[in-house]
Structure 1
Amino acid sequence: MLRAHPDTNALAIAATNSRELAEHRAQWQDLHNLHPELGVQALRNTIPSIYAWLYRNDKIWLMANEQTFVKPAKVEKYLIDWEARDSRLLSMIRTACEAITELQRGPVTKAELNARIPMLSSCLENRDRYAMSRAYLSTVLHLKTCGSLRQRGNAVWPAS
């Protein structure tokens, strides 16, 4: 019967759409009233089908309604104390160098330091950080022959 009368069919479809629209809006608002502390994303994760329906069928109302929601708090980034990290790494490097020279009375190499301090290479990837550790490594690994030290390749060891 509705197909025979296009005007009546259009009215029936419009009535169904407005009823569904009112139901979904009411469900979304009820959910928001139950959990006023939650933001849009948290509510959307609670009942995603309501949000999806409103997004597809009533996006303008949904976006206007989102303005009333609480914005989630911004998380402060923790400041990193690079000097403290540098001094810890420096003490680890010094300890490793002393252990290497005591055990073998031979050269200290980058490979041995990396074996004793696995995080060393990843720490030194950032060239803007760990200035004291870099300076100490440059003196240990790249000393020219002087006084009581001898050098071979990138290794330095005390003269016997």
Structure 2
Amino acid sequence: MLRANPVTNALAIEARNSRELAEHRAQWQYLHNLHPELGVQALRNTIPSIYAWLYRNDKAWLMAKEQTFVKPAKVEKHPIDWEARDSRLLSMIRTAYEAITGLQRGPVTTTELYARVPMLSSCLENRNRYPASRAFLSTVLRRSKSKVLHDHVQCGKASGFR
């Protein structure tokens, strides 16, 4: 019957839309009144479907309501002690280096160090962090390369090649 009469159909759709709008607004306001201490994000996380529906279908009203919310208190973030992290990473690298050199005679490679200290690659992504660990790594890896060259030269001298 509704589809036969386009005017009646349009009125029915509009009535359904306004009813849904009123229901979702009422649910959001009820939730806000139930938890006035929560900020928008915390309330949104409680029932995300209501927020999503209002955001898609009644964004202007939702944004106006968000202005009435209490802003949550700023959480004090503890500063990161980069020196302590560098010290711990350096200790892990040294332990790995000593374990590798104890097992083999050849040079220590970055691959072996990464295998023993899995977090090493992610720690070294930021070039401004972990200066002591970086210095130790460059010294150790340079020493390993020069040791290999030195061993080859010594082998060459012993066999009479130059």
Measured against the shorter chain, the TM-score band is 0.5 to 0.7
Describe the shift of the 1:92–1:71 C-alpha distance in structure 2 as closer, same or farther (beyond 3 A). Answer: same
Alignment of 1:110-149 (within 5 A): 110-143=110-143
Q: Per-residue CA shift, 1:66-100, capped at 9, x if unaligned?
A: 32222234444442211111111111121222222
Tell me, yes or no, if structure 1 residue 46 matches structure 2 residue 47: yes
Shift of 1:61: 5.0
Of 143, 147, 152, which aligns to 2:148? 152
Q: Give 1 or 2: higher helix fraction.
A: 2
Q: Distance in 2 between matches of 1:23 and 1:36?
A: 20
Shift of 1:140: 1.3
Q: Per-residue CA shift, 1:98-123, capped at 9, x if unaligned?
A: 22222223322222222222222222
Structure 1: state its 5+ residue gaps. 1-8
Q: Distance in 2 between matches of 1:144 and 1:47?
A: 56
Q: Distance in 1 between matches of 2:51 and 2:86?
A: 52
Describe the shift of the 1:71–1:91 C-alpha distance in structure 2 as closer, same or farther (beyond 3 A). Answer: same
C-alpha contact (below 8 Å) 1:90/1:133 kept by paired residues: yes
C-alpha contact (below 8 Å) 2:39/2:70 kept by paired residues: yes
C-alpha contact (below 8 Å) 2:97/2:113 kept by paired residues: yes
Q: Distance in 1 between matches of 2:28 and 2:111?
A: 61
Which has the higher Rg, Structure 1 or Structure 2? 1
Q: Per-residue CA shift, 1:46-76, capped at 9, x if unaligned?
A: 385598469746x655543432222234444
Percent of paired sites with the same residue: 64
Q: Give 1 or 2: higher strand fraction.
A: 1
Corresponding pairs, count: 139
Letter in 1 for 2:103: L
C-alpha contact (below 8 Å) 2:82/2:130 kept by paired residues: yes
Describe the shift of the 1:95–1:72 C-alpha distance in structure 2 as closer, same or farther (beyond 3 A). Answer: same
**TM-score, length basis structure 1:** 0.59
Describe the shift of the 1:97–1:21 C-alpha distance in structure 2 as closer, same or farther (beyond 3 A). Answer: closer
Describe the shift of the 1:116–1:30 C-alpha distance in structure 2 as closer, same or farther (beyond 3 A). Answer: closer
Structure 2: state its 5+ residue gaps. 1-7, 155-162
Shift of 1:20: 5.3
Alignment of 1:3-82 (within 5 A): 24=23, 28-43=28-43, 46=47, 48-49=49-50, 52=53, 56=57, 62-82=62-82
Mean CA deviation greater in 86-95 or 106-115: 106-115
RMSD of Structure 2 on Structure 1 (CA) = 4.1
